[in-house]
Structure 1
Amino acid sequence: MSKEVKELASYLIEAEKNQKPIQPLTELRSDLTLDEAYKVQLQVVEEKLSQGVKIVGKKIGLTSRDMQIMYGIDTPDCGHLFENMVVENNHEVSFKDVIQPKIEAEIAFVLKKDLKGPNVTVEDVLQATDHVLPSIEIIDSRIEDWNVKLQDTVADNASSGLYVLGDKPVPVFEVNLPDINMKVYQNGKLMREGVGKNAMEQPAACVAWLANKLAEFDVTLKAGEVILSGALATTIDVTPGDEFTAVFEHLGEVKVKFTE
């Protein structure tokens, strides 16, 4: 692992610990490549594992065309989910525990079999999935003012923060994932609408992409892991006092409230 990768990882770790965002890594190192950015992410993951924090899943970001256009890119990204990111459905999140949160609503997969690329297909994903759930992902950034390029968000664990899952598992073969409609309400007001196919035409295709991408770094999606498959609509900014409800056709709803 290069010294520079370790240094960039340490900046992100400090930013998270102190809850103080830092300047973009792409300003610190203008020639930072996407591959190096993933190595920075994996270095941060190694540090967390060494402190005894467990990985409970993975996430795919930037899967919708709207989000890709927003960031001027044409590829998804991915990150790791840790046990200390879990928020129970209908619970509260204190603004003391986040830096500059936004929320997205997406379909979560829970695996019953390992998945490792390359060459993982949508059918492989469906066969390896135990059930799906509605989810709200609370994305966050250790980079000041969300001033991120793709390399910044990748290094920063795909701008992961926290996540909330619904509590009624639905077998994956009981629903047609691309056709699932979703609505997001902020303080009771409808703010976003989306449909499953907004995530790469098929949310399971996002999971297949993830398995194949992570194979480049010898990382496996493991049985029991939660996979957040990507937002079905654009993000919503969060302020203290906000309450969000995401309602998914056939999957139910998931809620979270933010306090001071």
Structure 2
Amino acid sequence: MGADQMLSTEAAAALLMAAARSGQPIAPLRERLAATSQEAAYAVQEVNTQAWLAEGRRLVGRKIGLTSLAVQAQLGVDQPDFGMLFADMAVGDGEPVALSRLIQPKVEAEIALVIGRDLTHERHTYADLIGATEYAVPAIEIVDSRIEKWNIRFVDTVADNASSGLFVLGGQPRKLSDFDITDCAMEMRRGDEVVSRGNGRACLGSPLNAAIWLADVMVRCGRPLLAGDIILTGALGPMVAVSEPSRYDVRIAGLGTVSALFA
């Protein structure tokens, strides 16, 4: 593709928006963007974030992606990424989700933190994060991609709101002091079959490490985490593709259970 045919930030954002609304995925963006830096990818994400906010969608938190070192290596990066969580992306525990609502969904088990006070320091500590966390709940992130066949690299997923789809939060909040966020074991079942296993250490060594990274980055971006915000801290084990009506049950030791049902 010649330089005169490369996509601008706004054009790339428009393609992703159209894909989200039509349910028809698009070809990867990474070789079509006029600029392919990390900053350019986040600029595409920001255009659509502003468009969604203007439409009245309510921003309720952030998701952290690429918290697995193996996945980072696969995509050629050395850090996580983030995406926006809106209120209309939230699904109730065990509430049926129509597969037609999604393009090519996958599920992953995570720990969600709900923040009780603003995180506005340039650099945060464990003490800052622990003190600001109101409670934790088990979560299932239903990731999705507007890029066809999940043919993504870092630029593609960041521009696409970090491949966000929907999310499910468990309904039994726990204080951080009530469970071991680093060594807690996770098991995800589809019916009687165990489809994913992991623990807190799979998420950058601890979900708290991921949350601190996010808090610092959000301050630098001018959109700090505020009281009431949800943080999806990252996958505790391998993600699982969803291709047919099914139920996924997640249990995280000491934290509880959460379920996603696809109808």
What TM-score, normalized to structure 2? 0.94
Contact 2:180 2:254 in 1 (8 A): no
State the match for 2:117 in structure 1. 113
Q: How does 1:11-90 map to 2 (within 5 A)?
A: 11-29=15-33, 31-90=35-94
Counterparts of 2:220 and 2:10, CA distance in 1: 20
How many pairs does the alignment contain? 257
Q: Which residue of 1 aligns with 2:151?
A: 147
Secondary structure, aligned partner of 1:213 = helix
Partner of 1:163: 167
Tell me what 1:246 maps to: 250
Q: Distance in 2 between matches of 1:253 and 1:30?
A: 44
**C-alpha distance in structure 2 between counterparts of 1:9 and 1:81, whole Å:** 17
Deviation for aligned residue 1:31: 4.2
Cα-to-partner distance string for 1:31-56 (whole Å, 9 max, x where unaligned): 41111111111111000000000001
Matched, 1:131 2:112: no
Q: Which runs of 5+ in 2 are unaligned?
A: 1-6
Counterpart code for 1:214: M
Q: Is 1:110–1:131's contact at 8 Å kept on the other side of the alignment?
A: yes
CA distance in 1, matches of 2:122, 2:20: 32
| Structure 2 counterpart SS, 1:126 | helix
User: Would you say the 8 A contact 1:67–1:234 is kept in 2?
Assistant: no
For 1:68, the aligned partner's letter is Q
Give 2:199's match in structure 1, choosing from 181, 195, 198: 195
Deviation per residue, 1:94-114 (Å, 9 max, x gap)? 111000000000000000011
Give the secondary structure class of the aligned counterpart of 1:179: coil
Deviates more, 1:97-106 or 1:209-218: 209-218
CA RMSD of aligned residues (A): 1.3
SS of 1:25's partner is coil
Give deviations 1:69-98, integer Å, cap 9, x for gaps: 443432111001001100100111111100
**Shift in CA distance, 256/117, structure 1 to aligned 2, threshold 3 Å:** same
The alpha carbon displacement at 1:30 in A equals 6.6
Give the 3-state SS of the residue equivalent to 1:178 in structure 2.
Answer: coil
Counterpart secondary structure, 1:28? coil
Structure 1 residue 143: Cα displacement = 0.6
Give the Cα separation in 2 of the matches to 1:124 and 1:52: 31
CA contact (8 A) 2:8 2:33 kept: no
Equivalent-residue separation in structure 2 for 1:154 and 1:9 (angstroms): 11
Report if the CA contact (8 A) 1:19-1:98 is conserved. Answer: yes
Q: Structure 1 residue aligned with 2:106, among 93, 102, 106?
A: 102
Classify 1:183/1:158 alpha carbon distance in 2 versus 1 (closer, same or farther; 3 Å): same
Find out whether 1:4 has 2:8 as its counterpart.
yes
CA distance in 2, matches of 1:10, 1:117: 34
Q: Is the 8 A contact 1:184 1:192 kept in 2?
A: yes
Paired residue type of 1:21: P
Match of 1:214 among 201, 205, 218: 218
1:1-36 Cα offsets, whole Å, 9 max, x none, are xx9211111111111011111111113227411111
Once the two structures are TM-superposed, the CA of residue 118 in structure 1 deviates from its matched residue by 2.3
CA distance in 2, matches of 1:232, 1:137: 11
TM-score (norm 1): 0.95
Paired residue for 1:229? 233
